[in-house]
Amino acid sequence: MKKDLFALKGTICYSKNQKELVFAENSYAVCENGLCAGVFSQLPEEYKDIPVKDMGDRLIIPGFTDLHLHAPQYAYRGTGMDLELLDWLNTITFPQEAKYADLSYAKKAYSIFVDDLKHSFTTRACIFATLHRPATELLMDMLEESGLTTMVGKVNMDRNGAPELQEKSAQASAQDTRQWLEEIKGRYDHTYPILTPRFTPSCTDELMTELGKIQREYHIPIQSHLSENFGEIAWVKELCPTSRFYGDAYDMFGLFGTKPAANEEVSNPASASSNTCPTIMAHCVHSTDEEIQMIKDQGVYIAHCPESNTDIASGIAPIRRYLDMGLHVGLGTDVAGGFSLSMFRAIADAIQVSKLRWRLMDQTQAPVTLEEAFYMATIGGGSFFGKVGSFEKGYEFDAMILDDSNIRHPQEISTRDRLERLVYLSDDRNLVGKYVQGRKVI
């Protein structure tokens, strides 16, 4: 028998596409060597003797990808929510992140973060650490141990930080980044590095140039922030006067997705043949038409962070427009701009803020539906990792088992209603099992 072959049996839900969910009651999701072999109402002959883990009528759904969050900020989540971005960074975030120079503090704080992330509704995540190399490696060691699949970035920042939170020069920052990449080479199975210039105000042109070189040398993806807040956008214009718009200030250094070669249609940045630079930009609340066009043309992923955009009053991103244009959109908690690690909550927030945008700002842009928000949390963000976020054959087997029996009801309800209730009412108690790439995590 093959090494890793089993089935989960229960009430299976996943996205067929952006607009439709599939519900398969009393069905089997088969995992074969870490990949999904499909969903079946009866086990096919070739699988009839494999171990079956019977989950009764519990829901089995694909894992969620948190496309943007900050591990060091988990320590103070839920505080300091009365400020806008730039004041929030200077008065709260930077002094807090400076503490990760101390490895014993980092160990204490990151243990809590990793343990909570492991027990959350997240199976994959793209994570900012801090500028500190040793603490970033410690975080990566802990995440590897957790069984989750993650991308982690040592943050780059060589200007406009706090005295205690800024690298000495562009060269020092680049050198430390190279050292980090060398030190972790071959060390992990499911923890990957991602280049992380914090945002344009934190990185000089010289540093961006160096990061562009490192990206092309190591072929690793990029994550950063884009067009989150009006004050931030105006500042970028001052700092980078030759840029046509904020996204151009990354593109000038080759840090903004994949430039299509002539006659090449880019649908998946990771599979493009030339100049591949898979990129996640968090927020994109106030992107201009030109910026949005470049996001589309270069296959940049948008991490939509509705809770954070509400908490630090950044605004409401035009997600209906992005979805209708066929952009890659995933969801991020952006802890600690967002206070909650729950990706179910991110789904609820994405739906709720889209209703406010529709009602108050633009009635041509219909609200986001449950189907669309669920898609963003699964395939939308998951596809940054490859074939992730579905139970269709060939997808990596990331699954969560949800026991919703504490969400009581006096009447029969549909499977879709059960899923929708979990979006609004779930907490950690509802998660009773989690698999990533076929590995049992909890």
The contact set with Fe ion (CB under 5 A) reads: 282, 334
Q: Which of residues 336 and 441 has its CB atom nearest to ligand GUN in the complex? A: 336
140 near ligand GUN, judged by CB under 6 A = no
255 near ligand GUN, judged by CB under 6 A = no
Q: How far is the CB of 93 from ligand GUN (least distance, A)?
A: 5
Q: Which of residues 149 and 196 has its CB atom nearest to Fe ion in the complex? A: 196
Q: How far is the CB of 225 from Fe ion (least distance, A)?
A: 6
DSSP string, 49-74: TS-EEEEEEEEEEEPEEEEEEEGGGG
70 near ligand GUN, judged by CB under 6 A = yes
308 near ligand GUN, judged by CB under 6 A = yes
335 near ligand GUN, judged by CB under 6 A = no
* Phi, psi dihedral angles at 436 (to 5 degrees): -130, 125
Q: Give all strands of the β-sheet with 399-402 in edge-to-edge order.
A: 35-40, 21-32, 5-15, 52-62, 399-402, 431-436, 439-440
* 173, interface contact from Fe ion, ligand GUN, none, CB < 5-8 Å by kind: none
Task: Give the contact letters, 191-220, x = binds to ligand GUN (CB under 6 A), - = no.
Answer: -------xx---------------------
> Residue 35 belongs to what H/E stretch?
strand 35-40
Question: Measured between alpha carbons, how far is 176 from 2 in angstroms, rounded to an integer?
Answer: 43
Q: How far is the CB of 421 from ligand GUN (least distance, A)?
A: 29
Q: What angle do CA 418, 422, 424 make, to 5 degrees?
A: 120
> Residue 252 belongs to what H/E stretch?
none
Q: Which two tokens stand for residue 61?
A: 């759904």
* 199, interface contact from ligand GUN, Fe ion, none, CB < 5-8 Å by kind: ligand GUN
Question: Measured between alpha carbons, how far is 114 from 285 in angstroms, rounded to an integer?
Answer: 29
* 198, interface contact from Fe ion, ligand GUN, none, CB < 5-8 Å by kind: ligand GUN
Task: Give the contact letters, 84-123, x = binds to ligand GUN (CB under 6 A), - = no.
Answer: -x---x---x------------------------------
Residue whose C-beta lies closest to ligand GUN: 337
Q: Which of residues 14 and 113 has its CB atom nearest to ligand GUN in the complex? A: 113
Question: Measured between alpha carbons, how far is 245 from 264 in angstroms, rounded to an integer?
Answer: 24
Q: Which long-range contacts (CB under 8 A, 24 or more apart) does 352-355 make?
A: 352/306, 353/306, 353/309, 353/310, 353/316, 354/316, 354/319, 354/320
Residues numbered 337-396 forming contacts with ligand GUN, rule: CB under 6 A: 337
Chain centre to alpha carbon of residue 195: 14
Q: Which parts of this chain interact with ligand GUN (CB under 6 A)?
A: 70, 85, 89, 93, 198-199, 225, 228, 308, 334, 337
